[in-house]
Chains A and B, each alone.
Chain A
């Protein structure tokens, strides 16, 4: 069975600085997808970034980028130029490349951006 581990329950960063959230996963599959979701206090689940396992190039979305290390099964999220609006719970998630859309989530990292 696949598992997703986020070992940092809470993190803090100063506004305008850079922070990296860690995520490791375990799978025997070769075709899969990895995601980072943001959950602000409003409780919405917002997709931040997605990485296909078959792509070696790390995904980037504006100030958000990932460091995908397939052999190490590591998928960290880097937030550059942190903003107060980045304060949220961040979840790492795994999806098999099969015929279903099942997501397996980590336990989350609560990020606080300090002014």
Chain B
């Protein structure tokens, strides 16, 4: 059971480049979400999904796009990378039932924008 798999683990981009951070889970979880972690600020929610075909914005959605075409995958797209998007990105998933169900986190992607 792989859990939540994030790829890549590290990435360096130049300003203006685009890329997609991949997130896949094999637990048939309905809920998936993306967070970013910056020093001194904890984790902040970027986008989330409550099921295939349904996505919504979190606290810091600007500059990011998501889609949920399958239950398993929830990619995060940076359309035009900016230095302010340098961060560690975490994907998480869980079953329905909110707090009763534990969130499973991926190992994170460290992204640097030059």
Contacts and interface: CB of A to CB of B under 8 A. Distances in A.
Interface residues of B, number: 25
A99 B42 contact: no
Query: Of residues B33, B41, B42, B101, which shows the largest number of chain A Cβ atoms within 10 Å of its Cβ?
Result: B42
Interface residues of A, number: 27
Contacts of A28: none
Most buried by B among A9, A33, A96, A108: A108
SS class, residues of chain B in contact with chain A:
strand
B64 to A, nearest CB: 16
Q: Which of B43, B90, B101, B107 has the most CB of A within 10 A?
A: B43
Given A44-B105, A102-B58, A97 B42 contact: no
Given A43-B88, A107-B41, A108-B42, A101 B105 contact: no
Contact of A100 (B40, B98, B108): B98
16 contacts: A35-B99, A42-B107, A43-B88, A45-B90, A50-B99, A95-B99, A96-B98, A97-B98, A97-B99, A100-B48, A100-B56, A101-B92, A101-B98, A103-B43, A104-B45, A105-B44
Given A43-B108, A45-B90, A100-B50, 8 more contacts: A9-B40, A43-B88, A44-B105, A47-B102, A91-B42, A100-B48, A101-B92, A103-B35
Interface of B: 31, 33, 35, 40-45, 48, 50, 56, 58, 88, 90, 92, 94, 98-99, 101-103, 105, 107-108
